[in-house]
Amino acid sequence: MTTQILGRSRTNLHLHKNLSFLLGYLVSKSTATSSSSSFQSGGVPFVKCRHAPPPYASSLLGNNSATRLCFWRSESTKAEAQLDLQHYVSEDEDEQVIDFPGGKVAFTPEMTFMAESGQKRVPCYRVLDNNGEPVTFSNYVQVSKEMAVKMYSTMITLQTMDNIFYEVQRQGRISFYLTSAGEEAVNIASAAALSSDDIILPQYREPGVLMWRGFTPQQFADQLFGNTNDFGKGRQMPIHYGSKKHNYLTVSSPIATQLPQAVGAAYSLKMEGKSACAVTYCGDGSTSEGDFHAALNFAAVMEAPVVFICRNNGWAISTPVEQQFRSDGIVVKGQAYGIRSIRVDGNDALAVYSAVHTAREMAIREKRPVLIEALTYRVGHHSTSDDSTKYRPVDEIEYWKMARNPVNRFKRWVERNGWWSEKDELELRSRVREQLLQAIKAAEKEQKPPLEDMFNDVYDQLPSNLKEQERELRETMKKHPSDYPSDVPL
């Protein structure tokens, strides 16, 4: 097909809006039929279109011999529908569209730079307001009474576990801990929206996801104390949970390494034809790592069914987001890599549940990655090694802790539905606290893994260099027994 505007007048050719409308008219889909008889006018050949040109065509293109309109009717409506600006050329300008690898790109004579950001920030999807009232006209995935009660109960369990284990660390009984305070909705609501077949690649602030899948208070305690019942045999730092049974890959300390790994896991699910996806979590600080960008590009190009959930909690330890990036948060970074993305209120459990539930369906059904940016707030310190009051105002922390508390917001909605009472609250908190205290006592009494477990489980046959390391360590421990734990079996 060819569509040409022949002329020397730049003034006429640069009337882009009117010209685009005219071209759209010329190639418009029409059911009218007429013969494509040719005729001559002023020595320039024309091919008659289905309809006469609009009345302003003469004034737009001119009637002199220097400016002529030539358009061709395809032999079928299907072919005609494929007519585009690729063939729109002028005598003294290059083609107006370049068919470049990756897609056609239109030319423009105007030098225009893309704005560094939009005039308005990307809106944030939510369902419940701060008082737990559904927002007018909000659309969300319905949650049953059973699901809602379990979600709220698990939030309380996570909250209670964090408070107790934080104090245990402060007492010197475990070496390290961090809480999910302020981010309980992201943890529990996202977990509730997933299937047990989905593979989870967490960061380190997602214990609620593992809790939802059935990891017990005793198993949490065993990992924190690093005893013989710990699946990692005491070789990981506390809070570095993992469970093959629950499709929850072990937490890794280096930031963002789980993201490209999640894409690989998702691609394997796609190749095997499984109705499941990979789900990986990260904080806003992880988006400053190269692994984040590599993972998004990898996922988009390979069309891997992976859901990226970024907890934008405002702070990467002591670094605020405004010192990390100038973009409009995280959600626009997904669009830059060609990934469908959404920004959601991370303190609204119903919004998180709905967004993750829908994202999972899209990832599996359409074999595509999805990015979710959850705007939440880390109420607690980054970890027991941090004092967040040194870099952010206390009144800011208190505001998010009280006025924007995700657990309290969801509680109001559950209570308003008649699904929860104060009696239920007291019984749950008392029961969970007792279970955790008993788990801690049992974990402390368990023996530590033997020294040899530091070296096994990597190679089928222990190499000579590791044998040498083990021998030297045993000799050193015998010479300096006071420098090493006395409860580690030799």
Any idea which residues carry the catalytic annotation?
A: 167, 253, 382-383
Of residues 10, 5, 16, the one with CA closest to residue 107: 16
Q: How far is CA 485 from the centre of its chain?
A: 42
| Alpha helices in 272-369, H assignment, sequence order | 290-302, 331-336, 349-365
Burial 461-485 (b: 16+ CB within 10 A, else e): eeeeeeeeebeeeeeeeeeeeeeee
The token pair at 141 is 């995935």
Q: Which backbone phi and psi does 5 adopt, to 5 degrees?
A: -110, 115
What are the residues facing 39 on neighbouring strands? 46
Judge contact between 349 and 320, C-beta under 8 A. Answer: no
With contact defined as beta carbons under 8 Å apart, do 390 and 318 qualify?
A: yes
Cβ(320)–Cβ(314) below 8 Å = yes
| 347 touches 374 (CB < 8 A) | no
From CA 21, how far away is CA 442, in angstroms rounded? 77
Across the strands, what pairs with 105? 98
